[in-house]
Amino acid sequence: MAFGTEAVILVEVGVSSLKRTCYDEQGNDEGLKLALDCLPKDRDDVPQRMALYQERMTRYYNQRVKLKRFNLGDMVMQKVSQATKDPNEGKLGHNWEGPYKVVRYSRRGSYYLEDANEKPLFRP
C-alpha cells in the first residue's frame, strides 16, 4: 500500500485481474488494523524465540564437537591466519605452518609452542 492506494503493475490497469476484482477495501483496512494491533505482541516474542534458537544451536554444536587434547612433547601444526598469511602467496599459499612442539599447557585448548630450534612462539 502506497499513499492510501494499493500498488498494481501496469498490466493490471488495463486488464481486469482476480486481484482487482476480489479487492475489498473495508476488509483490507480491518486486516491491516488487526496486523498493527498484533505487532507489539509479535515484537515481544522475538527475543524469546531468538534465545531458544541460539540455545538449540549451541546444544547441537556441543554434542558434535570433540575436544582434542595434546600432551607435552607432541608435534603439531599451526593454522595460518589471515593476519599472518603472506599476501604475495595469494590463495595458493600455505594453510598450515610448523611442525611445532607442545611445551606448556595454559588452559583449555591453549598451548605454548616452540619450533624445531627450540625457539618459543610469542602467543599460545
Residue 88 and residue 57 share a domain: no
SS3 assignment for the chain: CECCECCCCHHHHHCCCHHHHCCCHHHHHHHHHHHHHHHHHHHHHHHHHHHHHHHHHHHHHHHHCCCCCCCCCCEEEEECCCCCCCCCCHHHCCCEEEEEEEEEEEECCEEEEECCCCCECCCC
29: in domain? yes
Which residue in 94, 110, 93, 112 sits closest to 102, CA to CA?
112
Predicted local confidence at residue 90, as pLDDT: 83
Residue 59 and residue 21 share a domain: yes
Domain count, the chain: 2
Residue 79 and residue 46 share a domain: no
Residue 100 contacts residue 83 (beta carbons within 8 Å): no
Predicted local confidence at residue 12, as pLDDT: 66
Q: What angle do CA 97, 101, 105 make, to 5 degrees?
A: 115
Predicted local confidence at residue 50, as pLDDT: 95
44: in domain? yes
Residue 55 and residue 16 share a domain: yes
* Domain encompassing residue 17: 10-64
100: in domain? yes
Predicted local confidence at residue 45, as pLDDT: 86
**Rounded Cα distance, 74 and 124, in Å:** 15
70: in domain? no
**Rounded Cα distance, 98 and 114, in Å:** 9
91: in domain? yes
Residue 60 and residue 19 share a domain: yes
pLDDT in 10s for each residue of the chain, 124 residues: 456 666 767 776 677 777 667 777 788 888 888 888 878 877 888 889 999 999 999 999 999 988 888 999 999 998 888 888 888 888 888 899 889 999 998 887 789 999 989 899 888 7
Q: What is the pTM of this model?
A: 0.47
Residue 55 and residue 82 share a domain: no
Residue 110 and residue 79 share a domain: yes
69: in domain? no
